[in-house]
Structure 1
Amino acid sequence: MKVFHSISEFTSQKRTVITLGTFDGVHLGHQKIINRLLNSTQNNNLESVVLTFLQHPRSVLQAENTIKLLNTNAEKTDLLEKCGIDNLIIHTFDASFSELTGEEFVKTILVDKLNIHKIIIGYDHRFGKNRSSDIHDLIYFGKKYHFDVEQISAEEIDEISISSTKIRNAISNGNIKLANQYLGYNYSFTGKVVTGKQLGRTIGFPTANLIIENQQKIIPKNGVYIVEGLWQNTTHRGMMNIGTKPTIDGKNTTIEVHFFDTNQDLYDLDITISVHDFIRDEVKFNSINELKTQLEQDKITSLDYF
């Protein structure tokens, strides 16, 4: 897959089949559209193109919007590459781009820059300044500028009722199984291991304390989870606590992971956490011994899951 960081960087001698959108999550609904994209390029000497954006458009158009995202751009790139597309364009969505009218976008971007043969788009997609153009306008522009428009019907998209918003809500509510079902893969995030208070090791549960640098990345609600961690090309099973550790101090929110099968020094490593399931809410126990007993039960639950 070729990756371009601006529409102006893209070049291809072949005509293209294009789809566009934020693709946050690259969930099963997105994958359905991408499969249609790939099917349209087979045996036709065409190239597939996904056009997406460096920023979520709402974060630009609505200054007060603090939308949390399912994927970083690096994660989204990896997921789209696994789908098998030829070209990915990650374009900066800024005020000037948002001012393009629907026809200006079609003529100057799709036709002149991207050499479009066909576009595949969801039934509810809107584009152009103030999102004023819709599928009917796109069909009209297709006839005018000689490219095909394939519409993904409401029935096809809605039959599994998947949207990035529903997945975000599921993660925020700790409903990891539902989120993973919608995504088609386990939700994950990457954090750097930093020095903590090292209290876990005093009760037999040493933890890796993670800092998530990307502030837009959505993090599951406080509680205990079954997870796997990936670092140095090796996967390790464990359990994770997100919260304030109310039994200990109850002050700052932390993300801590106890791995079952390693004593490795993990400080300063970047670890990708794959979240499998939610075990329980965070609880304040009456004593450290009660906490330790519960952690032992959480470990049994996690090992039984695997």
Structure 2
Amino acid sequence: MKIIRGITNLKNQFSQCVLTLGNFDGVHLGHQQLINHIIKQGKKRNLPTVVMLFEPQPLEFFTQDRAPSRLTSFQEKVILIEKLGIDYILVIPFTKKFAHMSANHFIQDWLINKLQAKYITIGDDFQFGFERKGNINLLQQYAHNNDFIVESMPTFVWNNFRISSTAVRQALLNSDFELAHCLLGRDYTIQGRVVHGNALARQLGFPTANIHLHRKKPALQGVYFVKVKNICNNQHYHGIANIGLRPTINGKKAILEVNIFDFSEDIYGQYLDITFVQKLRDEKKFDSLTDLKQQITQDICTAKKISAQLTN
């Protein structure tokens, strides 16, 4: 799979394609259905498959800090889409100029002239272009005169449940990881590289692997029992994770901190995959570091009991 950053870098990559476009936040079962469908159409027409993404996601551009929490960072999204077998990801910077592009111009200049899309599939509720005036009906008007096929994919329904990124966010907010798994088709995980932190946790006696979230607002907040996979060596562990602002030390930016049980190796720079299993408590501000240390000790005790139940 190849990543193309911006429409200007499209030159000589391919002459025609089959295409889908959207945010694909979470790459849930509905997204997977959409992507698998264009892969099938690509094979049928012997054309490369393209997923068009927008960074930042439109609501992050328009509403800034009021945007919905993000399920997947850009890098996580790329990894999940690549696993499905897509040929190209076309990443469009969502700028003020792009936000003001009319839906008609987007279709004629980008989809028809530049991408030469011969088959386009979108979700039935997907809208695009300035003031969101573009939709499946407008695309169909162009399809009749420009030798391409357009199709909308109905919302994926599981067990009478409409699958959407919003539904996944709500499941995570409710700490319903079983429902989130059903909507995603996999456990909810956060993946990232271990970076240096402020070493406070180590001073308290609980060294943590710190991972930058690469999103303005994570979908989870609090303390959790987690499963940890070291992607570099495929080793598996259990631990606790705190995801949030760390109010006791007046943190300003959300970060993921993971304490791996009975572990002391140097893993800076390595990539971890964190699977959230059960919420232990909300994040809170403690009066002192001593109180925080006592709470972490209790959290680890609780989490180890859960770990023992899983391994027995």
TM over 0.5: yes
Give the secondary structure class of the aligned counterpart of 2:114: coil
Q: Take 2:243 and 2:99, find their aligned partners in 1: how far apart are those partners?
A: 39
Give the secondary structure class of the aligned counterpart of 1:257: strand
Q: Which residue of 2 aligns with 1:23?
A: 24
Q: Which residue of 1 aligns with 2:41?
A: 40
Superposition map of 1:80-99 within 5 A: 80-99=81-100
Superposition map of 1:123-272 within 5 A: 123-154=124-155, 160-186=161-187, 187-190=189-192, 191-194=194-197, 195-198=199-202, 201=205, 206-212=206-212, 214-216=214-216, 218-242=218-242, 250-252=248-250, 255-260=256-261, 262-266=263-267, 268-272=268-272
Q: Which residue of 2 aligns with 1:62?
A: 63
Q: Classify 1:189/1:106 alpha carbon distance in 2 versus 1 (closer, same or farther; 3 Å).
A: same
Give the secondary structure class of the aligned counterpart of 1:39: helix
Q: Take 2:38 and 2:272, find their aligned partners in 1: how far apart are those partners?
A: 30
By how many angstroms is 1:82 displaced? Answer: 0.6
By how many angstroms is 1:209 displaced? Answer: 4.5
Q: Take 2:295 and 2:120, find their aligned partners in 1: how far apart are those partners?
A: 59
Moved more, 159-168 or 190-199: 190-199
**Cα RMSD, aligned residues only:** 3.2
> Which 5+ residue runs of structure 1 have no aligned equivalent?
none
Q: Take 1:211 and 1:85, find their aligned partners in 2: how far apart are those partners?
A: 28
Contact conserved, 1:5 with 1:91, CA < 8 A, in 2? Answer: yes
Moved more, 182-191 or 155-164: 155-164
Q: Classify 1:301/1:158 alpha carbon distance in 2 versus 1 (closer, same or farther; 3 Å).
A: closer
TM-score (norm 2): 0.82
By how many angstroms is 1:292 displaced? Answer: 4.2
Give the secondary structure class of the aligned counterpart of 2:200: coil
Q: Which residue of 1 aligns with 2:275?
A: 275
Residues 250-291 of structure 1 show CA distances to partners (whole Å, capped at 9, x for unaligned) of 55567543323632134x434424223114225989997897
Q: Which residue of 1 aligns with 2:107?
A: 106
By how many angstroms is 1:31 displaced? Answer: 0.2
Contact conserved, 2:30 with 2:155, CA < 8 A, in 1? Answer: no
Contact conserved, 2:7 with 2:92, CA < 8 A, in 1? Answer: yes
Give the secondary structure class of the aligned counterpart of 1:264: coil
Q: Classify 1:286/1:44 alpha carbon distance in 2 versus 1 (closer, same or farther; 3 Å).
A: closer
Moved more, 56-65 or 72-81: 56-65
Give the secondary structure class of the aligned counterpart of 1:62: helix
Residues 24-58 of structure 1 show CA distances to partners (whole Å, capped at 9, x for unaligned) of 11111100100111111114221111111121112
Give the secondary structure class of the aligned counterpart of 1:265: coil
By how many angstroms is 1:20 displaced? Answer: 0.1
The number of aligned residues is 299
Give the secondary structure class of the aligned counterpart of 1:198: helix
Give the secondary structure class of the aligned counterpart of 2:202: coil
Q: Take 1:17 and 1:29, find their aligned partners in 2: how far apart are those partners?
A: 18
TM-score (norm 1): 0.84
Q: Classify 1:79/1:174 alpha carbon distance in 2 versus 1 (closer, same or farther; 3 Å).
A: same
Q: Take 2:158 and 2:146, find their aligned partners in 1: how far apart are those partners?
A: 27
> Which 5+ residue runs of structure 2 have no aligned equivalent?
none
Q: Classify 1:90/1:296 alpha carbon distance in 2 versus 1 (closer, same or farther; 3 Å).
A: same
**Quick check: 1:8 aligned with 2:15?**
no
